[in-house]
Structure 1
């Protein structure tokens, strides 16, 4: 049986653990964006920075940031949960992607993993979510994230009609002394 938002939200412990990884399954009440070709986007949740998680009719998971960036981040809901569990800082990986360079994303993932504040708590959350959902570990979560965004064809627009830009940001970990040192 495929993993769905309904399966996840039925398990309060998993919802709580995912919340500790910055994913909330409480969608916004008011729509603040549109998706070309999708009459009513199904927002399934959000993150702490105000971004929206949307399950598209194709079952891809779309992320819409509150800062005008958007893109498909996973090919399925299960792949999205695998990404969050494996790399809860996935949004920071995109921030330090060097404009969408897979090697920069891998460097960022390594540096971010090395700088986790509550590593024991995060590892406990990872283990509990995988066990509770019978979720296999993602083979290459950074590669899958890169592929999903690189192939993203979703056009997201603000309420004024202006299109959102890609989730790939131009920074690299070399722009951040803490991450640069963690990678050394």
Structure 2
């Protein structure tokens, strides 16, 4: 049986572990964005920065940041959970993607992982979620994230009608001394 938001949220321990990874399965809030062609977006959660996770009718997961960026981030709900567990800093990978360069995203992922080696609570949450859900590790979470964002055709708009921009950002880890050193 495929993983669904309902199956996941029925397990309070998994929900608590995902909270450690900055994903909260909060109820829908007042809409602050629209999605072209989607009448009633199904917001399934939020992250620590106020961004929203939306399950689209296609079952793809859309992320809408509170900073005007949006895009498909996973091809399915299960792929979304696999990504969040494998790379809880997935949004930072996109921030340091140098405009959507897959090699730079892989480089950023390595540097970001190196800066988090001492986070025992995050690592315990990752392992607990995988074990409890019987969730296999994603084959290539960075490649999957890249493909989902690059192929994203969802048009998200602020309440004033202005479109959100892509999730890819222009920065590289070379712009951040801590990450640059971690990658060396």
TM range (shorter): over 0.9
Give ranges in structure 1 of 5+ residues lacking alignment.
none
- What is the alpha-carbon distance in structure 1 between the residues aligned to residue 87 and residue 102 of structure 2? 15
1:61-95 deviation line (CA, Å, top 9, x unaligned): 00000000000000000000000000000000000
Contact 1:97-1:172 within 8 A present in 2 as well = yes
- What is the alpha-carbon distance in structure 2 between the residues aligned to residue 49 and residue 178 of structure 1? 21
Show the counterpart of 2:133.
133
Query: 1:123 Cα shift?
Result: 1.5
Contact 1:28-1:46 within 8 A present in 2 as well = no
Counterpart secondary structure, 1:72: strand
Show the counterpart of 1:41.
41
Show the counterpart of 2:104.
104
Show the counterpart of 1:120.
120
Contact 1:27-1:52 within 8 A present in 2 as well = no
Counterpart secondary structure, 2:109: helix
- What is the alpha-carbon distance in structure 2 between the residues aligned to residue 27 and residue 158 of structure 1? 20
1:72 aligns with 2:72: yes
Instruction: Please provide the CA RMSD for this pair.
Output: 0.8
- What is the alpha-carbon distance in structure 2 between the residues aligned to residue 164 and residue 126 of structure 1? 31
Query: 1:27 Cα shift?
Result: 3.6
TM-score (norm 1): 0.98
Give ranges in structure 2 of 5+ residues lacking alignment.
none
TM-score (norm 2): 0.98
